[in-house]
Amino acid sequence: MLLRTPFRFRGCLLARKELRSASTVIPASVDDHALIEFFNRPHKPQAGKSMGLFRVKQITSPDAFVPVAMATMARANYIVRRIVNAREDHETGRIVKNIDRLSDMLCGVIDMAELIRHTHPEKAWVDAANRAYDVLCEYMNELNTNIDLAAALDRFIKTPAFGKLPFEARQTALIFQHDFQKSGVHLPDEQRKKFVQLSSDIIAHGRDFLQGLETPKRPVILTRKDCEGIPESNSRLWQLLALRKGMRSSISVDPESPEARRILRYSTNEDARKKIYVAQNASAPESIQVLEQLLRARAELAVLVGHRSYADMLLMDKMGATPEHVRMFLDSLLAVSRPRALQALDDTRVAKQRRQGLDSLPQIQPWDRDAYFPGIAQQPPIRLSSISPGLAMHAFSRLLKNIYGISLRPADVQHGEVWHNDVRKLEVVDETEGVIGWIYFDLFARHGKAGGATHYTIRCSRRVDDDDADGDFYKDKVRELTPELEKQWVLQTEKHATLVRGGAHQRPIAVISCDLDPGRANAMAWQDVVTLWHEMGHAMHSMIGRTEYGNVAGTRCATDFVELPSILMEHFLTSPDVLSLFFPTAEGARVLPDELVVKKAPGSPFRAIEAHSHILLASLDQHYHSEIALSADFDSTRELERIQNTQGVLPYVEGTSWQTSFGHLFSYGASYYSYLFDRAIASRVWAQVFREAPLSRESGERFKNEVLRYGGGKNAWDMTAQLLDEPALKEGGRDAMQRVGAWGMADEVASDGPLA
């Protein structure tokens, strides 16, 4: 029942493959072509009465959020009463189902509030969503420490009937039991109260930490000497300095501004580049304090429930299982990446020597990154006049149709259904089941909207046709759900009959939020295309997942398995067969056109250094969430310095404390390694399952039916071993983690933090 955090990860551009013949491709349909125009044309909001946010009729104004939260809690109390008072066989057998319903109804409001507080342009809506979020998170923490609720589940797990349940039901029950255990349900009253308080503190510190990511950096004073080497043509720096008129000798600039980036890229003055780098990577003391309070609170909570560290507690139900196993994986990666990174650094030293005309090889410093590292080419591997979101989704829909028999179809948006006029909605249509879910797209940056790319699950799939009537047992005894609150009850399940697997499942709803430049709506950078496809990998995991229980549906699986489908989508963009889908003509679908050019990635040393940097970020995350966080003299900056100087290839720079810019420390605390872990697995899946025939329906059905449909309802190591036909992986553990680490990962990891 613990909350699952949304995904915030920008996809990575992977190595390009040589051009080869396209395989048979399903031609574009009318619906596919409609996607292009659907995203391009202006949205005209419908007039009339509001249909409510996500067509939930009670949420037509921000004032409704808190009443809806209160009504949800009242309804939840009613179901809790059913569970803890269950004594009859019928009720006892429904305990897992009812706990899952409890989780689904609470997360349905919490996840909606989470989206709105990060994306809505109106303060009233944001404030209301924050209040509802806080109220329900506090209530969720109380449920997670409810002795009677946990005891009812424990009693059922010990019965013979439990052993007769299908694997998914038993897996779901054990996940709930682990959540209760991690929440300290076995603790005495005072310690349980302490757990709830620490949980609330972690949420508060986390919010402060994330807000701190947006804190402006202190300005930097630049002189004329600092600008040496910068081209005078079209440079705002020269205009500001007014060199020709001799009006100024220095200016103040934002270290995150384009002017500062020009200094890093072009200035021949090393002191100037260092000055900008330090300013970019320095932190305010209060920001460091917030992070350390967050880490300490997590460590205290873990110890309170009987674990050595937060990482030890968090990993117990992941593929990694223990900090020691994760360390084995990271050490395996470091053993491969460090020699490559050091060699790349030597190559860069030669480039710096040539540029500066030096007699000997100089040292490479962190502020040399933009000046001397060629970087990753951002140009698209296909020659098109422009790539719009509509064209990107047109190609994605055609890929889905080839490998899964699924397509995307434009859907009407009712008045009040969305939070901004930029939002678009697509139906996800299965060729046999019909509409299986909806995806909303909020693709453009705007003031007040959270940055980055994010997949939100607003509603999970779960089987609902076997839900029974709540009033059968305790209706006369429960008074929490008054008529007034009942009017606010909104989470009525919307069913669709699935003819393939039986039963009726709640249709999932997902949202993809990005921060594309509105001024370049029809000219996406190639990296933005990769990012959008990455997030669509998450969305399709949510759409295709077909489980009995919502708590294991789609992306609600182990954190170190959830990135596999999304990273795999990045690999598809390296295939000429898939790239041909961007051309909206039937002819382009059958034959690779002359203008399709797939480039080999240039041999940039930056790739190896950046890949090594991300392994160090994962190591830092593990270290921060170890026992060290409880030390009386814990200093996150000192620990950063130690790790960077002992494991990195570039030295720590005095005065920097970039750990407060590492936002994943909150959202993926103690599990940042998951990106690297899933990247290694995705590379293996791509090579063994899809690379030779990326548009194969047989391969797509195999991945859909062996991975996507199960979500977290099947052991992730079992799914990996079966998909890759590697039985040695089935048991997981130390050897399996080391084996995956030995596979390595592509060096082309997107820049997601400073170099280490």
pLDDT at residue 90, rounded to an integer = 66
> HEC profile for 83-96?
HHCCCCHHHHHCHH
Residue 374: which residues within 8 A CB-CB, separation 6 or more?
A: 602, 604, 605, 606
Catalytic-labelled residue, pool 91, 114, 427, 535? 535
**Helical ranges in 267-321 per DSSP H:** 270-281, 285-304, 310-314
Q: What is the mean pLDDT of each run of 10 residues along the chain (756 residues)?
A: 36 29 58 80 74 91 94 92 80 86 93 95 96 91 89 93 92 92 88 87 92 89 83 64 58 87 88 94 96 98 94 95 96 89 88 86 90 64 81 95 96 92 95 94 92 92 78 44 48 43 82 90 88 97 94 94 96 92 62 46 65 93 97 97 93 96 93 95 95 96 96 95 95 94 64 37
495-497 vs 424-430, strand pairing mode? unpaired
What pLDDT, on the 0 to 100 scale, is given for residue 92?
73
Residue 439: DSSP 8-state: E
According to the model, what pLDDT value does residue 182 have?
Answer: 85
Q: What is the DSSP string of 619-638?
A: HHHHHHTSGGGG-TT--HHH
Backbone torsions φ then ψ of 106, nearest 5 degrees: -70, -45
* Partners of residue 223 on adjacent β-strands: 250
Helix (H) or strand (E) holding 19: none
Contact present, 34 and 553 (Cβ < 8 Å): no
| Per-residue pLDDT at 590 | 42
d(CA 8, CA 441): 15
Is-contact 226 263, C-beta < 8 A?
Answer: yes
CA-wise closest residue to 367 among 255, 459, 485: 255
Look up residue 436 and give its two tokens. Answer: 């299986």
pLDDT of residue 238: 64
Please give the backbone phi and psi of residue 754, each rounded to the nearest 5 degrees, phi first: -70, 160
323-379+601-743 folds as: Neurolysin; domain 3 (1.10.1370)
Cα separation of 11 and 531, whole Å?
4
Are 668 and 371 a contacting pair, CB within 8 Å?
A: no
Q: Where are the beta strands (DSSP E) in 343-482?
A: 406-410, 424-430, 434-444, 454-459
Which CA distances in Å does 345 have to 340, 341, 342, 608? 9, 6, 5, 9
Domain range list for the chain: 220-281, 323-379+601-743
- Lookup: tokens for 490: 């909104």
Smallest CA-to-CA distance from 563 within 750, 368, 377, 374 is with 750
Bridge partners, residue 428, by sequence: 408, 437
Q: Is 206 left (phi over 0), alpha (psi -120 to 50) or beta?
A: alpha
**Residues counted in the chain:** 756
Residue-level pLDDT at 57: 87
Active site residue 698: no
Q: What is the pLDDT of residue 108?
A: 92
Torsion of CA 192, 195, 200, 202, to 10 degrees: -170
pLDDT of residue 27: 66
pLDDT the model gives residue 12: 30
Token readout for 545 is 């997942």
